[in-house]
Structure 1
Amino acid sequence: MSGGMGVDGGLLEAFREALKLAWRLMESGAAEWRGLLGVVGGGYVEPGPSGCLERGAVDVLPTGRNMYTIDPGKLPTPSAWRLGVRAAREALEKARRLTGRYPETVGHILWSIDGFKAGGEQLAAILYMLGVRPRWGSGGRVEGLEPIPLEELGRPRIDVLVRISGIVRDALPNYIELINRAVALVVKLPEPPEENYPRKHFLEFLEKLGPGREEEALARVWGDPEGAYGAGVNYAVYSSSWRTLEDLGKVWARWSSTLYLDSGRSRESVELLLMQASKLDAIVRHHYTDEHDPTNCCCYYAYQGGMQALAEALGARPVNLVVDTARGEPTARTVGEELARILHAKLLNDRWIEGMMRHGYRGAAEIMKKVDHLYGWQATTRSLPDQAWNLLAEKLLSEKVRRWMRRVNPYALEEMTRRMMEAVERGLWRPSRKAWKLLLDARMEVEAVLEGEAGPGVQAGEVRVYAPRDVPQWAREMRVVEEAWRRVRRGG
């Protein structure tokens, strides 16, 4: 406020903007219907931008328009660069606090949401870890890269291993070129190896690979083969097709062993992937919005947990981090800390459970799905302590929740308790007496309900454990990984 009853001009303007935003939100419902009817009727649908409203993209309102995305050539944007730099610093400092030193190599899980919702924020963090910054032209497009002097960085250049999704490969090929160009740029710098880890590792990889393979030794971007998607680990977890952490790590390696070079070229190089993964000191994935969380989808543990499983099977001990930028100020948490946050916000939260109960069959399926995904995280990272699982059992297997799930969706209750039982049988959870009794009671109840409904060939409550080597066809598929594994282990 200013003098007497006057209204501060800035406050008044903010109020006007809030009213405009509220009006555009109110318009969105009718606009969605118009857009839907326009599509169904083969009519014209007005175009409009896409983006994340949580991150300030108010121009997406009103919704219901024919969305267009972004110009990949403008990524990372200057604002995403600034946030990505802060996120990289936060991740490196978190890793240093936990291990006592800067990581030499950081693994990145890089998905297309980074480009389409965050303007290339994690791409910016990758470039900054390497000690490189973009150079933008007058139209906002990235026209080149330049090294950041070590004196300005105040730390060594950090090497990276980047696991992209299939959609990044298909829709954001400039990501691959920028990262590979950045590595090539810093490797040429005449700097000591203790201050330039990409150069240090390039020379080590080249020595092991042999002459003429400089392009491979420089590349750091990995993914599925052309036309394939996913990390594979989720399928192994869902089907109980693993016996050891090494089995899961090898599945991740098989699905991730395509090395992406410039100009759309790629080649399989399992041995080099294993060399790079054996050097991992940290793993990072950015969390951009609370519309999603790491228990929403199996891809989270398949990609990020699978990378940790591979690194640990090779003898590395990486710190596994989620860098939360949803509120504009980056915060790095370990995977264990992030899962604890989600547990207390959702699965252990009475209000959240009551919200799911209002959705009947679908709500029960959502609870089951989250427990399944927690099991996947536990299989790949061992991030949840026994007490977390005990609390989960006491909450979700209580008489009230159990009775409701048995009534609206007994199949979800069966799947959830079977995963919990599998966690116990595999030594991933040592339950308390109370939790164990709740689990046994729930298992017997749901099996009694479903008895007679399952015929021959249905797994039901039985857990059949296989490993790739137990099935001839799987063993043939994994042969290339097994051979590379032996060579890398022999080479130390």
Structure 2
Amino acid sequence: MGGAGKKIVDQLLVQYYEKNGKFPELVGLVMWGGTEILRTEGIGIAEFLYFLGVSPEWDKTGKVTGVSLIPLEDLKIKLSNGKVINRPRIDVYASAVTSNVYWISLMVNAVKLVNDTDESFKWNYIKKHYNETPSLDRIFGLPGAVLEGTGMSDYIPNTNKWWNSTNLTKDLAEIYLSRVSNSWTVDENGRLVVSEKRETYEYLLGKTDLITQNIDSTWRFLDSDDYYDWFGGLLGASQYLGANPDTGIVDIRNSNNYVSRTLEEEIEFEIRSMILNPKYRDELLKSASGWLSYSEKYEYIFGFVSTATGKDGKSLISDSVWNGLAKNLLSPSFNVDSDFKSASFQSMAGWVIVAAQKGLFNVDPKVLQDIIDKYINETINYGVACCHHTCANLEFNKLVVQASSLSYDKKRSF
């Protein structure tokens, strides 16, 4: 079996093995059927199959008609030092957005095929895990064919809903699990069957060693709330259930050079190459739509650091990067002279203020106070932006008034 799917899996396995000295037993894939799978002609499905050590079967017309086992002795990876070693069949599940019965059937049948072998647990992690929890459900998603999210991108922007929460991590994980713990499988008649299987999903998340998703278009992780909704939600729930998975974001846009980064590396790369890149920033800030698009990235950053942490509980974003994002808002590029600029600035400043107040980073006190003062001034000058995390949250407004160094009259006007 060749092709992109094998290439991605081999790269992820080599990186995991060389870092940890062992193979991952269980991998979680984030898979979007209506966009990603169609655009890439099924690369995500190919990854799912190859983790298991299964190959598609084709008819004479090139249509995939089924799956077959790849012999264990043919499952090998080549380490960076040139050494070739055998690898086991890796257990894998998908957090998926698809109702395509054909795609689901391929993955369901592959899992069953691997579990039906007489291989040892040492070389077959599907069988090992089935022995612990007798379920072969490996495709999970929403309760129906609906274009909705996991709940992260609905809940997090409404800061008034969780401002006084004593355990936001738990709240978010429970929301995610309540939405996505639905198994998608196929019955003996080839019909889709969707059923709640939270116990199985929690078992899988709690044992996950690696979570991965591909980047195959111009959209990156800070270009849409879907990424912190699905990838962040999955990672956060896995961590909440006791796992400490590695992450692998694979940029597959250049077929000659796939680049895999951890989530921490990917977010920092995007922040430095786009948000804090003067050429990118200043070009985007030439239009009203650009200001809106730019301001949304601050929300998505906050979304990620709220839903999950980095490896071993470390923050996804360092203090230096956070402070860079804060100082950025005080640069001349953010000269506010119109209502749309004010609305975008208030949104960005609001996220930085909330992040600092919630202890997500160690903020430079002078920078924070300057942002708060500017936030109040722009609100007075152009009116309240009425973002969910600003005007809809009275506690937030009390916070900025208390922390501001502006005059009593200014605060009263605010």
Q: CA deviation at 1:402?
A: 2.6
Q: CA deviation at 1:338?
A: 0.8
Q: Using the alignment, how far apart are the partners of 1:325 and 1:451 within structure 2?
A: 44
Q: Computing the radius of gyration over CA atoms, which structure comes out larger, 1 or 2?
A: 1
Alpha-carbon contact 2:385-2:391 (below 8 Å) kept: no
Corresponding residue number in structure 2 for 1:188:
116
- Would the alpha carbon gap of residues 275 and 438 (structure 1) be closer, same or farther in structure 2, given more than 3 Å must change? same
- Would the alpha carbon gap of residues 225 and 449 (structure 1) be closer, same or farther in structure 2, given more than 3 Å must change? same
For residues 300-324 of structure 1, give each alpha carbon's deviation from its aligned partner in whole angstroms, at most 9, with x where no partner exists. 0110011111111111001122011
* Residue 48 (structure 2) pairs with residue 126 (structure 1): yes
* Residue 87 (structure 2) pairs with residue 155 (structure 1): yes
* Residue 130 (structure 2) pairs with residue 219 (structure 1): no
Structure 1-normalised TM-score? 0.71
* Residue 376 (structure 2) pairs with residue 435 (structure 1): no
For residues 234-271 of structure 1, give each alpha carbon's deviation from its aligned partner in whole angstroms, at most 9, with x where no partner exists. 11111124442121111111110111111211111111
Structure 1 vs Structure 2 CA RMSD: 2.2
Corresponding residue number in structure 1 for 2:183:
259
Structure number having the greater helix percentage: 1
Q: Using the alignment, how far apart are the partners of 1:461 and 1:353 within structure 2?
A: 29
Q: Using the alignment, how far apart are the partners of 1:95 and 1:274 within structure 2?
A: 23
Q: Using the alignment, how far apart are the partners of 1:118 and 1:463 within structure 2?
A: 46
Aligned pairs for 1:395-474 (under 5 A) are: 395-398=328-331, 400-404=332-336, 408-450=340-382, 459-460=391-392, 462-463=394-395
User: Which residue identity lines up with residue 384 of structure 1 in the other structure?
Assistant: I
* Residue 316 (structure 2) pairs with residue 394 (structure 1): no
SS in structure 2 of the partner of residue 294 of structure 1? coil
Q: Using the alignment, how far apart are the partners of 1:156 and 1:452 within structure 2?
A: 58
Q: CA deviation at 1:449?
A: 2.6
Tell me how many residue pairs correspond in the alignment.
367
Q: CA deviation at 1:116?
A: 1.6
SS in structure 1 of the partner of residue 3 of structure 2? helix
Correspondent of 1:235 among 147, 150, 154 = 154
* Residue 16 (structure 2) pairs with residue 95 (structure 1): yes
SS in structure 1 of the partner of residue 208 of structure 2? coil
Alpha-carbon contact 1:246-1:309 (below 8 Å) kept: no
Q: CA deviation at 1:450?
A: 4.7
Q: CA deviation at 1:453?
A: 8.4
Q: Using the alignment, how far apart are the partners of 1:133 and 1:371 within structure 2?
A: 42
Corresponding residue number in structure 2 for 1:146:
68
Q: Using the alignment, how far apart are the partners of 1:452 and 1:292 within structure 2?
A: 30
For residues 393-450 of structure 1, give each alpha carbon's deviation from its aligned partner in whole angstroms, at most 9, with x where no partner exists. 222332x133237654211111111111111122112112453244223323233335
For residues 114-157 of structure 1, give each alpha carbon's deviation from its aligned partner in whole angstroms, at most 9, with x where no partner exists. 32211111111111001101011111111121111111112011
Corresponding residue number in structure 1 for 2:169:
245
SS in structure 2 of the partner of residue 441 of structure 1? helix
Mean alpha-carbon deviation: is it higher for 400-409 or for 243-252?
400-409
Mean alpha-carbon deviation: is it higher for 296-305 or for 388-397?
388-397
User: Which residue identity lines up with residue 255 of structure 1 in the other structure?
Assistant: R
